[in-house]
Structures are given as C-alpha cells and as structure tokens.
Structure 1
C-alpha cells in the first residue's frame, strides 16, 4: 500500500472526502509497546470532532483519531469481480427482497416497511432503497411507531461492501443508537456449474408447495402459522426440495429456490445432523439448480451468516463469492 509522494508520507484526505473510499495509515501505541503502523481501507463515513469513522467492507466501523494519522488518500472503488455474473447492489437487493416477501408492507417514500408477525428479520425490517421523503430523524421515528403498533422491534436492513451500498447510512444509524445485531454475506455465482455437480439428484423430490414434513425439518420456526407459510411461499417461481428420511419422519435434507428472471436464489438448505457429510446439501442445490436452468436462469445467489463457517466453505466450493454484506440494525 503506497502512501508516499517523493519519499514522504502524506495525509491527502479532508472532511470533504466523506463518502469516498479511502486508505489511511495511523501510528498506534499501547502501554510500553513500540508504536506501530496500522492500515485501514473502507468508506470514510464521518469526520467529526477530530475522529474519523471508516466503514470496512464487512460493515465494521473503525474510529481513528485525526491526531494519529500519518498518511491517507482516496482510492478507487474495489476492483470488479473476476468471476461469476455481473450484478449491481440495487438489482440484487430487489431480487433478494422478492424472494422473501412480507405478509404486510407499507411505503415510506422509497423505503419499504415490512412485517410478518416476527418471522425472520428480513420479513420484519425496513428496506431503505432510496429517499424516505422525510428528514432521517423523522423517518426513523415513523419507523419505530409503525413497528410498535404491531408489537415488533424496529429493524432496518442496510448493506456495505459494494458500489452503491449504504456505508454512510449505516454510520448515521449507529450515531442514533441503532445497533447492528446480525450480519450476513450476499454471495453470487454462475448457476450452470452447480447444475453440473456430480450429485445424487434422483433422491431429491421437488414440489411447488411445502408440506408438513418439510416444515418439520425447517429449523427457523416453532409451530408454523399462516404468516410463515405466506413468507415461504412468496416469490416469482418457488420450488421446495426434500430428501426423504426415515419413513414417517422429517426429510433428511430440504431446500428452497426462487427463480426470478436470470436469478435463482437458494434458501433454507438444511440437513439432519444424523445425515451430514453425505453431500445431501449438494444434492438438494444441484437438483434445484437444474430446475432453475430449465426455467431460463443463469445466475445464482444466496445469503449466509458471516459466522457460519461450514456453509461458507460449502458455497466456496460451488464457486460462490461475496458480492456485499447486509446488516440488521435494531432501534435502542
């Protein structure tokens, strides 16, 4: 990482660069330890009272005292992906939202307020893709009231890590005591290689609707109500997959896929712990991918929590790569 001009370290950023991607170097020391250089790359989301806030791709905010800066510069946007389908943030945000639709929604300017009796944060949070038509503090007050009226906590879903994502907005939420609770990666990849995997797809049953057995394997709910069935059944073209387990028992593995134009989204891929390491998740995804290819899809997406190392390793092997991160912020 080169900061010098003519052999000298220089700070070439100012508060006017808020909103730009920057790279900075600071000199830090702790206790009696020798001082050391630390580099940070991300979006400069604020510069107030002598402290910079830089939001990394993962959504992590780094506070840096101005007095510790030894170098800094504006840097180009992160390089374009070298594999998989081309996609921008807004396209993916809308596609992923259509695959997991709420029971109830209301517009606040260009924001969408979503509620589904508390079933998942995605279906019970604001999707802020644009201008709410109000000053931010007033809009957030309206959001809190809307969710309070439904007996729900107020959540906002926002994204970081790609061109056009919402680093500054995330910083504004945190400055107003909205706290990030859960972060996940949105990953994309080519669909055909998933359909070409060597997997036991003959074991996988595909259906347009879910049944009681499928719900028994799904681990995100207790007793499913109508709101759960509404959310799971939503989307342009929905498919449910299952691998039979013990006779009379829940499936050994399940999955869900939503086909939407060129995109196929994979969700709810779960395997009975007693049947793991038998490539059942791969079989489920391969069968769903082949059906999506038949419907004309060519690109795949999925969401995985940042701490789910097992799932992330599986998706790495299938050719998925992280496009951006999304986060759910909860009102204090």
Structure 2
C-alpha cells in the first residue's frame, strides 16, 4: 500500500484512474468480526456517487464505499521481459527456450482460441466478431469483443441481441479478466445492464516440449501405468469411435464442422477393449507456435492410469513436429482433478474468461417470458 514518509497510509487514486489496475485498503464493515482492514486488487471499473467498483482477476466485482478507503495506489503494468539498461531481462528464466513457459498477450490468445473453435457463421460489428454455430459450444456462439464495436455500447448490445435473435440463439458476450488488456470494464458494464455471467473458466498456458516428453503409461502424473497407453492413434477426423467417448452425444453436422475446424486439427484415441468405446480421447489444434488441447476424456473405469497424459503427450509430439512450441487449454475453475494434472504438466493460469448472457426481454405484462421456468 502507499505509505507516506510520516508512516501514514495514503489514498493515491482518483476517479481519473478508472480502467487501471489498482490496489486498495478499506476499513472493514462496522461491527464485523475479523480483520480491521480489507485489501482488494483489481481493475477500477467505475467510481460514481461515492462508490468504487473493482473487478478482481476472477471476474468478481467488489463494491467499496469511498468513505471506507484508507489507502490506494495504481499497480504498474507488468513487463516481465523488460531489461534494465545494459542488463539481462528481468524475471526471464535461463531455461532452454524449448522448455520455457510462453509469454503471450490476451489479444493473441483470444484470437488463437477463437480459431480453434471456428463458427460456421460470423459477422463483424466494428472490431467485434459475432459468431454462430447452431448453439454448439458457447465459444462458437458468442461475441468476441476485441476492440471497438463502432457504436455506443447500448446500441452495440442491441445489435448483438437482434443478430442472435434472428438465428434463434441466446445472445452471449465472451469476456476476460485477470491479464493486461482484458475486459474488466466491459464486464462491469454488462452486469450493470443486467447481463448474467453463466460460465467462468480459465485459460492456462505452458511450454509444449515437457508435455511431449511425458509417459503416462509408465506411472506418470495420473497414477499407475496402463498397458494401453502406447496405443494412441492419431487421426485428422473424429470418427465414430472417437465420438462414442465424447461427452456430447447426438452431434449435428454443424457441431462436427466446428470440431473439425482450425488450422491443423488432430484427434487422439486410445482404443477400448473389443467393441467398447475408446479408453481415452483428445483433440489438438496446431496454430503457428500454439497447440491447444481440448476434449481430453477418459473412461471412468480407467482413470488415474496415465491415459490422459498419454493422449496429450502424443498430440504434443505431433504439434512439435509441425513447429509449435507453446500450448494452451481451458479448464473449469471447479475441476480440481484437471487443474492438478495440468499444473504438474507445467501449465498455469493466464486469464479467466466468462460468458455473459443477455437478460430476458420484458413483455408488456412486465414479466420475463421465461419467468417461473
């Protein structure tokens, strides 16, 4: 926190700092048990009528009364690769580049992630991209709001609702928080207009080579080995066997088109016994220096035997052969098992992403058409 030469805390932020990342300390609630002070770090998304709104890395918005502030400062942007005059870059490890975790901006990762789940229909609204794929995955059926929509926000959101309504789809806006250049301010504006955050997950990144070097079947990060781990089969298409293990059943032609979309798509399968569904599957999209992992699923009866690791290792080796060096994946915040596995593989969180759904329209009777459902 900001402390003066006399040792007193100082509030060094104003309403002019809206949009910047800040760190504040405030007095606790009167009569509340616990600490006298509470610290909050996040993006200052508004400061109106004596109330501050700060959006944390997780996407949570915290309301703080201006009168309760005892200290505050702007948090400088992080530039981990910036070097001092005549010296080596700060915070950059000396590990070989092949194993070093990737540096990336939010905008780069957002565009790479969008190319890994391409919609079947898209349209530009200024710099925003409206995407639709008959409802298969929110990623392919939401607005990617990178940049300026070219209209005031209320007009842009009205255009978004019309566009999705014409296609019989709910209107979603995909946003992100927790990294430089993410959309904390947009999140706050959507919430102020009644848009509902339905999904929060995280995008994790890591170096690709360590994943390729893993051997799940020899007792890797997931547990004891499985003799089937060496039988990972790679294919350019999601065949009937692969789809039999995929958690989404009865896929339409549009869904299959989305699954097969991307610059260089690979599907991995560990065959099951006899005519059973595969023991494990996975999907990887190679896009320049990036490889994405998705749809990594294992037969519940054969979990913790290294099969997910084997699938990812086989896909990673293929991606390395095509010139990729970095990897990303998306993981739900409440999936403790997957998070622990990916952390052991060297992945870490880059940013959180969210899907906001438009509020239901109000009818002439003053009620929502979905009220009571």
2 CA distance for matches of 1:197 and 1:318?
8
Equivalences for residues 145-160 of structure 1 within 5 A:
145-160=162-177
Q: CA deviation at 1:35?
A: 6.4
- Deviating above 3 A after TM superposition, structure 1's stretches of 4 or more consecutive aligned residues are 1-5, 30-35, 78-83
Is 1:222 matched with 2:249? yes
Equivalences for residues 158-173 of structure 1 within 5 A:
158-173=175-190
Q: CA deviation at 1:2?
A: 5.1
Listed one character per residue, the Cα deviations across residues 71-114 of structure 1 (whole Å, up to 9, x for unaligned) are 11112125647650111111111111001001111111111111
Unaligned residue ranges in structure 1 (runs of 5+)? none
1 CA distance for matches of 2:131 and 2:151?
18
2:42–2:56 CA contact under 8 A, matched in 1 = yes
1 CA distance for matches of 2:32 and 2:342?
44
Is 1:324 matched with 2:341? no
2:263–2:285 CA contact under 8 A, matched in 1 = yes
Listed one character per residue, the Cα deviations across residues 98-148 of structure 1 (whole Å, up to 9, x for unaligned) are 010011111111111111111111011000111111111001001011111
**Change in 2 beyond 3 A, CA 1:297/1:14:** same
Unaligned residue ranges in structure 2 (runs of 5+)? 81-90, 93-99, 218-228, 360-373
Listed one character per residue, the Cα deviations across residues 45-92 of structure 1 (whole Å, up to 9, x for unaligned) are 101111101111111111111111111111212564765011111111
Q: CA deviation at 1:264?
A: 0.4
SS at 2:58's partner residue? coil
**Change in 2 beyond 3 A, CA 1:203/1:2:** farther
How many aligned residue pairs are there?
Answer: 331
Is 1:93 matched with 2:122? no
SS at 2:216's partner residue? coil
2:200–2:355 CA contact under 8 A, matched in 1 = yes
Once the two structures are overlaid, the 10-residue window that deviates more, 30-39 or 119-128, is 30-39
2:2–2:72 CA contact under 8 A, matched in 1 = no
**Change in 2 beyond 3 A, CA 1:279/1:34:** closer
1 CA distance for matches of 2:209 and 2:30?
52
Q: Could you say which residue in structure 2 is the equivalent of 1:19?
A: 19
**RMSD, matched Cα:** 1.5
2 CA distance for matches of 1:59 and 1:4?
31
1 CA distance for matches of 2:202 and 2:292?
13
More strand by share: 1
Q: CA deviation at 1:18?
A: 0.4
TM-score, normalization by structure 2: 0.86
1:50–1:65 CA contact under 8 A, matched in 2 = yes
TM-score, normalization by structure 1: 0.96
Q: CA deviation at 1:322?
A: 0.9
2:3–2:10 CA contact under 8 A, matched in 1 = yes
